[in-house]
Structure 1
């Protein structure tokens, strides 16, 4: 063999050997390489923020990097969602969102992102079902009695919600459609004023997030009629589901799930999902979520994606029925 060929061959071999470790490092870069930011589309102190911080506190030690909560409230979660949708899919910006994410496409005439296609689903952490509660002075205790009361008072019986286009509002419209009733919707600026008027008797009922009304149910100030969930909840085992009370397939919940930008590579998506599910399944965090009235889910990316698709289709139909639109 010619000497020059031998030298060239040796040089090529040496270059390949030198480059190989670098290539392997580029393909298997450690995650995370810096702080991870978990965006929450609500102000600090609310249920979503509480759940996000509980998860972040567990993920930080597991990853060896802090997981920082970024509260980005505004425009019904759409401002935060748009920010996340535009971000690089490297796993360092994640998003803890709620049912408002799948409702937004049904309500907003124009969004800068697609609530499904612009995101990679990681895991549905937990669901908090809505519960039908009634004012203390209303003489009903069962779903049948409540339905008879509403039918006897068309366009007079009123239900409260924390605002137009919320899951609580649309669930009331879903009930009207299912039971052929004509309850009047009374929107408020948040849960607190809605519940204040419900306690005072200004409105008859509310499809409320269970977490928000748990203290009032426990004290007897509000009567819980039925849970909009597929099964009873551990925190309040005495409250029947709508199916048990006579209305099957009536489910609606506030939920807490983690998303990432759609460009997140599949391998990293699976890794982050596994890590989040591992911390959610720790006994102390599960107990805390259950104490909030949650049903802990902690599912796979594929299962969460299918759940969001079903949620989106459901709310699209209810929004069309109710005519709810946000410009």
Structure 2
């Protein structure tokens, strides 16, 4: 038989546990409703001054104004851009540590055998940000003056043609690999430690070809004295370079490469917090200063339907599948 005092103690304990459970369940929404009450850290996988860093710092000011707290940009560099997402994936899921990353989020699973995170499972999606087109250039004295001549020369002399890139796993490497894949050729690829050195050697005549972002190539193209341009890598012509045809319209059907950027938070970040960050992102994308600066970089801010968690999720899933296929077929690896 149960002693009355024991029974009462048990009932009290059960009530206390129930009350504690209710309190625990209410903590998340309470914190979300007060969020943010301190600065937010926006992690960038690349060094200061690079395209992704420039974009992050542009967005940080209007996002901070919208949130009522500073957005602090922090560069976490290394391992081909995989250290930053690893850090964010393991961060506390309270919304105070978020990530901006380019299409490397989609290519990393195929480039690395042992990736410390899963881009499709370890993050909450905030939204897409912008697209940076790319262009295909050659040294100034390369023996071709249009894309048809380039194709003919490359196919006949593929053992003599060099193709530079900004490093193993860089988007410029993937763009070059896709170019070779669709032409059915294998060129000598030369990885550099960054886009700057690759561009310098192209202009100096040390390498033949380079596929790189418009943030770096447009000034060279408009100068017209240091390199030749054979096409843009997007599906449509660029408003900043209207006279330069796409590679797609010149015969590389379906060729569409742009360096898209997205914003992420650790898995399990409350929906209310994701919504607030997304709203701040969309405010920033409409900011006049941001729009003008992005236009100067010959880049495009995404449409409102893409600057959403669902828009980024769908795009990332499609890009993981697309680039996984290309990387497997070309045999590219970052290891």
**TM-score, normalization: structure 2?**
0.86
CA contact (8 A) 1:136 1:222 kept: yes
Counterparts of residues 183-262 of structure 1 (less than 5 Å): 183-220=187-224, 221-262=226-267
User: Residues 23 and 256 from structure 1, CA distance in 2 versus in 1: closer, same or farther, beyond 3 angstroms?
Assistant: closer
Contact 1:231-1:241 at 8 Å conserved across structures: yes
Question: Does residue 315 in structure 1 map to residue 323 in structure 2?
Answer: yes
Instruction: Give me the whole-angstrom Cα distance separating, in 2, the residues matched to 1:193 and 1:43.
Output: 15
Counterpart position of 1:306: 314
Per-residue Cα deviation, 1:195-219 (whole angstroms, up to 9, x for no partner)? 1221122221111111111211111
Q: What is the aligned partner in structure 2 of residue 272 from structure 1?
A: 277
The count of residues paired between Structure 1 and Structure 2 equals 309
Deviations 1:271-327 (A, max 9, x none): 321220121122321121111111211522111111111221222122212322234
- Cα separation, 2, equivalents of 1:313 and 1:166: 18
Give the C-alpha shift of residue 88 in structure 1. Answer: 2.1
Offset at residue 28 of structure 1 (A): 5.4
Provide the C-alpha distance between the structure 1 equivalents of 2:255 and 2:113, rounded to a whole number of angstroms. Answer: 27
Alpha-carbon separation, structure 1, partners of 2:180 and 2:82: 28
CA positional deviation for 1:38: 0.3
Match of 2:181 in 1: 177
Contact 2:62 2:287 (C-alpha < 8 Å) held by counterparts? no
Residue 116 (structure 1) aligned with residue 117 (structure 2)? no
Deviation at 1:183, TM superposition (A): 2.0
Partner of 1:325: 333
TM-score for both structures, normalised by structure 1: 0.88
CA distance in 2, matches of 1:65, 1:28: 14
In 2, are the aligned partners of 1:126 and 1:294 still within 8 Å (CA)?
Answer: yes
- Please give the alpha-carbon distance, in whole angstroms, between the structure 2 residues aligned to 1:191 and 1:27: 43
**Which residue of 2 is the match for residue 10 of structure 1?**
none
* Residue of structure 2 in register with 1:91 after alignment: 95
Segments of 4+ in structure 1 off by > 3 A?
22-25
* 1:55–1:314 distance in 2 versus 1, CA, 3 Å: same
Q: 5+ residue gaps in structure 2?
A: 1-18
- Displacement of 1:23 in angstroms is 5.5
Q: How far has the Cα of 1:124 moved from its partner?
A: 1.3
Q: Do the aligned residues in 1 keep the contact of 2:63 with 2:283 (CA within 8 Å)?
A: no
1:8 maps to none
User: RMSD of the TM alignment (CA)?
Assistant: 2.1
Q: Please give the alpha-carbon distance, in whole angstroms, between the structure 2 residues aligned to 1:80 and 1:130.
A: 24
Cα shift at 1:62: 1.2
Q: CA deviation at 1:153?
A: 0.5
1:56 is displaced (CA, Å) by: 0.3
